[in-house]
Amino acid sequence: MTDLEAAFAFYWRVLARDRPEPEHEHRFHPERRWRFDFAWPESKVAVECEGGTWIRGRHSRGQGYRNDCEKYNAATSLGWRVFRCTSGMLVGNPIAFVRMIKEAVDG
């Protein structure tokens, strides 16, 4: 688990303790090996933690960004709602991000 994923898991446990725990590394696609960082399969809600956004990490370079778009578009076509999270979003306002996910999980 990355530091960013651990931070999200911590904030979820603290701020959403009355909600179900997400599955970590949930495989959502019937054919591809794609996984979500966190998922609530019953609600078809997922969280993807996007690290390396300021250091030109794998996800923010051309091919990585394209691959992520393909994954997120496929998830959307299967009925998933995918929420993307950067470290700045969690540091800046974890309450707002967790609240948004709680509302989505609640339906």
Query: Which of 36, 23, 18 shows the shortest CA–CA distance to 83?
Result: 36
Number of domains in the chain: 1
Does the pLDDT of residue 7 top 60, yes or no?
yes
Does the pLDDT of residue 58 top 80, yes or no?
no
pLDDT tens-digit profile of 17-27?
A: 999 999 999 99
List the CATH number of the domain containing 29: 3.40.960.10
Range of the domain at 78: 3-106
| Cβ neighbourhood burial of 20 (10 Å; 0-12, 13-18, 19+) | exposed
Q: Which of 31-35, 63-67, 88-92 has the lowest mean pLDDT?
A: 63-67
Does the pLDDT of residue 57 top 90, yes or no?
no
Per the CB < 8 A criterion, the answer to whether 3 and 52 are in contact is: no
pLDDT tens-digit profile of 28-52?
A: 999 999 999 999 999 999 999 987 5
Per the CB < 8 A criterion, the answer to whether 50 and 59 are in contact is: yes
